[in-house]
Amino acid sequence: MMFTGIKSPPVSAHRMQVLTTRHVELLCELPLEDIMLCLSYNLLLVLLCAGHAFLTRKLPENFNESWYIFVSVSTTSFLWLVFLPTYFTAFYAYHQAALLAFCLLMNGTITLLCLYFPKIYAIYFVDEDNIQFGTSGTAVSHAGPSNTLQ
């Protein structure tokens, strides 16, 4: 986000967690306010998407994407609720980096599966002749227009 680092830029710092071992970490320290500003903006977007998807979940068949969006946003919010406490309580900086990478990979994978798997399934496994249009349940034949004038 472009607002990060306006008040105080990130600084590099050395951290030695256990004083009896010879393990020193070099890490980037961002002020907590800047991290919370970015996370709160992302949380606002996730909550807006979840609310919109929840409100539109019972639209007709032509707009049935909202259920998949709601599932994707719900899993994203659950992942972030689990991720944030573990990230801020991680002991080493490389644990924080691994947690962030794992959470982002899982979030991206779940989003791709929720949003694109139904489309891929429809392309490869749904027969075009069995597709029903409308809500009356009548099938539309693909034989071509009928000639009523003779």
Q: Show the domain range for 50.
A: 30-124
The highest-confidence range among 51-55, 108-112, 142-146, by mean pLDDT, is 108-112
Q: Who has greater pLDDT, 63 or 115?
A: 115
Tens digits of residue pLDDT in 15-25: 776 677 777 77
42 occurs within a structural domain: yes
88 occurs within a structural domain: yes
Tally of domains in the chain: 1
Structure tokens at 64: 């049935």
91 occurs within a structural domain: yes
Overall size of the chain counted in residues? 150
14 occurs within a structural domain: no
6 occurs within a structural domain: no
- Please name the amino acid found at residue 107: N
Cα 58 to Cα 11, 12, 25, 53, 64, distances in angstroms: 49, 50, 51, 10, 8
84 occurs within a structural domain: yes
Structure tokens at 145: 């227009």
Tens digits of residue pLDDT in 83-133: 888 888 888 878 888 898 998 899 899 889 888 888 888 888 887 777 766
> 1 pLDDT band (50/70/90 cuts)?
very low
**What is the reported pTM?**
0.62
Mean pLDDT over residues 45-63, rounded? Answer: 77
